[in-house]
Amino acid sequence: MLRLRVYTRERQLVDQDVREVTAPGTYGEIGVLPDHAALVTTLEPGVLSYRETDGAVARIEITGGFAEVRDNVMTVLADAGEDIVR
C-alpha cells in the first residue's frame, strides 16, 4: 500500500492508505503506485485522484502545490483544496 497525506494551509484533507494516486504535475499527470521511486515535484491546479483500498475513487481539486514521494508515503502540500463529491 501507499500512504497518502494531503495538507492545505488550513487543514489536513487526507491521511490514509491508498492503492494509487494521480496528480496534476507541471509536465503532465503523475501516476504513483506503491514502491515508486523517490520524487519531489511541483503540482499544477487540477484534480488529484486516488483509489482507496476498497477500490473506490476519490478526487480533490487543488490549486497547485508540491508533492514528495518517499518510502511508500506521498505527501502533498496544496495551496488550497476541496473534496469533489464521488
Q: What pLDDT, on the 0 to 100 scale, is given for residue 86?
A: 54
Instruction: Tell me the whole-structure pTM to 2 decimals.
Output: 0.92
| E strands present in 1-86 | 2-7, 12-25, 28-32, 39-52, 57-70, 73-78, 81-84
67 and 74 in contact (C-beta within 8 Å)?
yes
Q: What pLDDT, on the 0 to 100 scale, is given for residue 57?
A: 96
Fold classification of 2-84 is ATP Synthase; domain 1 (2.60.15)
What does the domain layout of the chain look like in residue ranges? 2-84
Mean pLDDT by 10 residues, the chain (86 residues): 96 96 95 97 97 96 96 95 71
Distance CA(31)–CA(23), nearest Å, equals 7
Q: What pLDDT, on the 0 to 100 scale, is given for residue 85?
A: 58
Q: How far are the Cα atoms of 33, 45, 74 from residue 82, in angstroms, in the given order?
A: 23, 12, 18
